[in-house]
Structure 1
Amino acid sequence: MYKPAVGATVKLFQVGTTGYGSAPTLLAQTVTGTGGSWNIATFTCSPDGAEVYLVASGGSTGLSANPGISLMSFLGPCNALPRNVIINEVTTVASVWALAQFMKPFSVGNVGSPSTNTLGLANAARTVANLATVATGRAPGNLLPIGATAPVAKINTLANIAAACIQSLGVSSPECQGLFTAATPAAPNNVKPTDTLTALLDIASNPVHNASALFTLSSANQQFTPVLAAAPTEWTLAVNFTGGGLDSPNSIAVDSLGNIWATNPSSSTVSKFSPGGVALSGAGFTGGGLSSPQSLAVDHTGHIWVANAGNNSLTELSASGTPMTNPLQVIGGGLSFPQKLVIDTFDNIWIANCGDACNGSGKAANLSKFTSAGAALSPANGFTGGGLNASKGLALDALGNLWIANEGTNSISKFSTAGVAVSPVAGYTGGGLLRPVSITVDAGAKVWMSNPPGDSISSFNLSGVALSSSTGTIGGGLSGPRGIASDSAANKWIATNHGAAEFDAAGNVLSPSTGFADSKSNSPQDIAIDNSGNVWIANRGDGSLANSTLSEFIGTASPVMTPFFGPPGAAFDNMINANGYFSFIVVRTISPGNNVSNPPGYLKPTATANGNGTVTVAVLDSHSDTTEEIIDYRLPGALSNPYISLATNRFLQFHLTSINPGHFYNANILFFGPGTNPTFLKEVVWLSNSTNLNPTLDVNTLAPSGAAQYFLRYRLFPFNVPGNVFTIDSITTSP
């Protein structure tokens, strides 16, 4: 018999906004009484729509207090709260899996996001209501769309694993200690949890670890049914969605609001789903020349660009799915059975064309380029050379170079931003490449391809040198791998015959031998990651509408800002961030003897993203006189363009520190632009002996309508400090 916790402390929190897993604001608290009842009547949120959640800790379900009890119910926006709420094991599983990426680094009860990804957190909170109903404490959720399928048995089994500890005699009981031991992550993060909430987060974050041992614990107290009949190989949760005109979908993309878009070649339509999986496209969007659409991408305005293999054209749709182009309006430029479409930081549209190998047209595989107005920038036969052959996959690197997967010759190609082939005539080969069809560039500057016949993936560096072996990288459930994507931690996610496979930045396998499985997956084709850390897969199925679906693996990946216009980066402004963290390029230095140790060119700092949209970049200054040091930087873009491409209504914030705090420094960050001969606009000043360590450069009133070109000038005035090391860190952007 299930016994509620008496004497548990119930706290109502508003989510943190200073980083992932940041400290929340306590709004109210109470203690559970007889029967586990509680009431919170008065509290105030700021703003009104802030996301809020409940955590219940401690109390007793039996003869003694159990400090290992910790449960959560995520409620959603403060101005739309339910009147009655259950906090139990099911709501905890739903909350933890959906919000996992916003609970790390973890302190019990902390949920937060950087200010630049509050939308990702809000979308994750909405996902909770697909998994569980907080008013009843049961799965599935009350907002699960019609036709969607949630993994109810898996949710209940996880809930029973926690219930065994919660319903035990205390934290030292075999049930609690068994859970805490089995949930302890592998080294080097092998900190043993001491409460059920932390244990469940450890399981969500390490879904393969001790999966069978954890399943065994679920039989001790089966409070929730139905349950799994046998131990799973992993503990991911996948929801499956239908409708919206899905008809053998083969390509997906995520827009800035977290909506999911998919192409349907069979019916020449495009589908749209909300972040919660609600179909928004009826029977599918049509018109605008859509004809066997193969892929799509989202531009900076939120418009959707679609590559049509049926009539060798492009279609532009508004954010509501309305055609912005007339049929066959955007043609030419070498379009020939267009396959993958990507958009760069300047809203140029690039397309990999399969050509003769796919349509018998006699036209060679090539690369097309169009402006955001649909004007062709590539010649009539497209950009050719570099080994292009039956080209299927396409991706951008941090400098705007194009990388293409060539199915026809087991090779990949590289082209510059001007459309000039960088790779040799035969392309780059080796590394186990075998009819590659999809390609991605990760935040660690590595290029990855999927090889369906080889059940493998291959990796190369940006110079075209193979990093993987002659057989590629295998394992992790790779079976007929197709779409490949990278998250902001540089982990690779691959759509496979069984669902998804995951590999870390170094290519080490993270998924089990069977992959992350979704029982509803059927011929997965493409894969995408959203700003909540959800992994989405387009399932082509068997050609029937019933088996044409989208799968969503909940909260398993590191969030990325969507849409992205280069390598997927941490979830903050990708107009600025191009490779997961800031990389600066020195435009020029002005100092006696040019003594700055970072030479002109790509500055490769020793820097790592900390998950909060911040980085540390070291600027080394070796001179020891009192002469002013001036360095002009830009953020990534074309190497020939020494400026920042900055959209309107954005600001940059600088946190400046020195490793020699006993010395005096005076630093200026100056904002220049727009134009090729920019003028000084504004500056912020930092003094090492002041308290102003977070100067903000607000450019809202400076940027004209549309995108413009700017650059930053860093000026340091050292005072007789030999070997000075000065850092600029926590550079953040915000819409």
Structure 2
Amino acid sequence: MLVTVTGGKVGSASDNSAIMLATAPGACNQITASAQFVVNEVTTTATVYALSQFLDASGGYGASSTNAKGLANAVATIANLVNLTTGASPGVGFPATGGSPATKINTVANLLNTCTTANSSCNQLFSATASAAGSAPTTTFGAAFNLTRNPGGNVAALYAQAAASTAFSPALTKAPADWTLFINYTGGGMNAPGALGVDSSGNVWVASYFGAASEFSPTGSPVFANGITGGGLCNSYGLAIDSSNNVWITSEQAASPPCADSVVEINSSGQFASGTKGYTSGGLNYPVAIAMDPNSTAWVIDYGNSHVTLLNSTGQPTSGTSGYTSTDFVFPVAVAIDANHNAWVANSGSTTVTEVSPDGKQFTNVSCCGSPFGLVFDESGNLWVSNFFGDSISEISSSGTVVSSGYTGGALNHPQGMAVDGAGNVWVANYRGPSITELASATSSSPGKILSPAAGFSPDASLLEAFAIAVDASGNLWVTNFGSNTLTEIVGLAAPVKTPLLGPPQAP
């Protein structure tokens, strides 16, 4: 339920039709007659950030019938960001392992407060939060909505206006890099976190290089305080989630603790489904990446011998005793599955990506890139490739034509992990840069156009060796920081995606 209040006046001020504040206290059938909640600028800020992908500037609100879970998790995020009873940030259930974003929430709330308490300040607010199309909002709610949808716009001017109000504290003491709202989480046993994925409930799973798997709730609380260890987990770089929410993680051989080259399967309850050592058949040799086909086939990249191994839903190899290989493979490091069940492999030691048929009989090489490290498909079948040493992103059409050998800008710096959201926009984790980069979709008027600021988004979020990035069904971005053992959530910035990711992404 979304509750809004409009109009009225504050103190001795005159009536102000620009006031529109909001909160979302939960589902209607869960609210008792005696329930009390506050509606103020802080609840409005938290509501608009968390529900950004389910709102419009007028307060219209809703989700598709197939994304009830994404909407429910977004509402839960509001209660994570603000105490709905007191109207103060953060919420009572905010994880002790998270870094509270209260100072930024309070700053945006102070910005809105300048308008709610003085009609004369509203035009300044509305002008600074006009949409990219030039349409200015007419309410405080609309201004907050536009700010969350264009977090890189007029940052200094908006901060200066916010500083004129001290209604909510603590607040930022200087202008932020942008208005993205981020939270850094620790705990859950993370130890050099790398690959990650989101299951159908919105839980975030992380594979750490040093032998641990971590699960976080949709609001960032670690499900297992110390993570999941054993079961053959060692030197893990890859993770994928199947349609039953089983988590598949690659593990390289290691002497201490003794581990074999394997793929470890963990069920949704956190129990090992692959025995004490994981699945070891099929020619696995330093497996570094894994992707899940909608038909429940797992494609595994074997970096050690430049092979790919296919495993069925029970972990048995379907690609023979040694997997598939080709002379086209040159230090393969990543894999993505297209709509026709072909796998595409990134060859980090060359300028190519290679398409592999499901039976391993056809290999098609495409020269496109510069040391490709990451791959992701969009819903239209276009392949996007991160060029680690080229600081660029390549695009290959669904027909195999190279559209661009490298889009640059937007603070791309050794790009690695990528994700495509429900609108087809591409999100990039910069391993050697402190921010993430957004590129326009292949169906936009300017495919590959950098949509993020020159410094990228969230350059003040303490991102360190950002390894992987994923979009959930609420529109949140999740980023693993290999260098700081943290997981970063950027709230409501991307168009929602159906989870888990099976083949090309889909809108939920």
CA distance in 1, matches of 2:436, 2:183: 13
Q: Aligned pair 1:378/2:328, yes or no? A: no
Structure 2: where are the runs of 5+ without partners?
Answer: 254-259, 442-446
- 2:126 is aligned, of 162, 180, 187, to 180
- Greater Rg over alpha carbons, structure: 1
- 1:227 is aligned, of 171, 177, 199, to 171
Q: Aligned pair 1:71/2:21, yes or no? A: yes
CA distance in 2, matches of 1:524, 1:99: 25
Aligned to 2:504: 567
CA distance in 2, matches of 1:326, 1:236: 42
Aligned to 2:415: 481
CA distance in 2, matches of 1:444, 1:181: 36
Partner amino acid, structure 2, of 1:388:
F
- 1:415 is aligned, of 331, 351, 356, to 356
Q: Aligned pair 1:512/2:449, yes or no? A: no
Deviation digits for residues 534-589 of structure 1, max 9, x if unmatched? 00001112xxxxx3110000001110110121111101xxxxxxxxxxxxxxxxxx
Deviation digits for residues 475-510 of structure 1, max 9, x if unmatched? 112122211111111111111221311111111111
Aligned to 1:557: 494
- Check the 8 A contact 2:81/2:89 in 1, yes or no: yes
Matched residues, percent identical?
37
Q: Aligned pair 1:195/2:109, yes or no? A: no
CA distance in 2, matches of 1:405, 1:150: 38
Aligned to 1:165: 115
Deviation digits for residues 629-649 of structure 1, max 9, x if unmatched? xxxxxxxxxxxxxxxxxxxxx
Partner amino acid, structure 2, of 1:531:
A
CA distance in 2, matches of 1:85, 1:420: 63
Q: Aligned pair 1:500/2:436, yes or no? A: yes
Q: Aligned pair 1:540/2:482, yes or no? A: yes
Aligned to 2:242: 299
Q: Aligned pair 1:287/2:221, yes or no? A: no
Partner amino acid, structure 1, of 2:149:
S
Partner amino acid, structure 1, of 2:337:
L
Aligned length: 491
1:255-266 correspondence runs (5 A): 255-266=199-210
Q: Bigger CA drift: 394-403 or 512-521?
A: 512-521
User: Post-superposition shift, 1:529?
Assistant: 0.6
Deviation digits for residues 330-353 of structure 1, max 9, x if unmatched? 222231111111111110111112
Q: Aligned pair 1:346/2:295, yes or no? A: yes
Aligned to 1:57: 6
Aligned partner of residue 325 in structure 2, secondary structure: coil
1:79-94 correspondence runs (5 A): 79-81=29-31, 83-94=35-46
Deviation digits for residues 302-337 of structure 1, max 9, x if unmatched? 211111122211111110110111134522223111
- Check the 8 A contact 1:185/1:191 in 2, yes or no: yes
CA distance in 1, matches of 2:168, 2:139: 20
CA distance in 2, matches of 1:289, 1:148: 29
Q: Aligned pair 1:401/2:342, yes or no? A: yes
- Check the 8 A contact 2:326/2:363 in 1, yes or no: no
- Check the 8 A contact 1:351/1:369 in 2, yes or no: yes
Distance 1:386 1:193, change over 3 A: farther
- Check the 8 A contact 1:295/1:339 in 2, yes or no: yes
Aligned to 1:714: none
CA distance in 1, matches of 2:264, 2:61: 41
CA distance in 2, matches of 1:64, 1:282: 53
CA distance in 2, matches of 1:339, 1:60: 60
CA distance in 2, matches of 1:529, 1:494: 11
Q: Aligned pair 1:102/2:54, yes or no? A: yes
CA distance in 1, matches of 2:490, 2:235: 27
Task: Give the alignment's TM-score, normalised by structure 1.
Answer: 0.65
Aligned to 1:529: 471
User: Post-superposition shift, 1:406?
Assistant: 0.9
- Check the 8 A contact 1:334/1:378 in 2, yes or no: no
Task: Give the alignment's TM-score, normalised by structure 2.
Answer: 0.93
Runs of 4+ in 1 over 4 A off after TM superposition: 79-82
User: Post-superposition shift, 1:207?
Assistant: 1.2
Aligned partner of residue 482 in structure 1, secondary structure: strand
Aligned to 2:366: 428
- Check the 8 A contact 1:101/1:557 in 2, yes or no: yes
Aligned to 1:599: none
Deviation digits for residues 669-697 of structure 1, max 9, x if unmatched? xxxxxxxxxxxxxxxxxxxxxxxxxxxxx
Aligned partner of residue 184 in structure 1, secondary structure: coil
User: Post-superposition shift, 1:107?
Assistant: 5.7
Aligned partner of residue 243 in structure 1, secondary structure: coil
Deviation digits for residues 494-537 of structure 1, max 9, x if unmatched? 11221311111111111111111243322111111100000000
CA distance in 2, matches of 1:418, 1:381: 14
Aligned to 1:137: 87
Q: Bigger CA drift: 246-255 or 293-302?
A: 293-302
Partner amino acid, structure 1, of 2:338:
D
Structure 1: where are the runs of 5+ without partners?
Answer: 1-51, 356-362, 542-546, 572-735
Partner amino acid, structure 1, of 2:367:
T
Q: Bigger CA drift: 325-334 or 77-86?
A: 77-86
- Check the 8 A contact 1:386/1:422 in 2, yes or no: no
User: Post-superposition shift, 1:221?
Assistant: 1.9
CA distance in 2, matches of 1:329, 1:553: 33
CA distance in 2, matches of 1:475, 1:350: 32
CA distance in 2, matches of 1:53, 1:241: 28
Aligned to 1:273: 216
Aligned to 2:62: 112
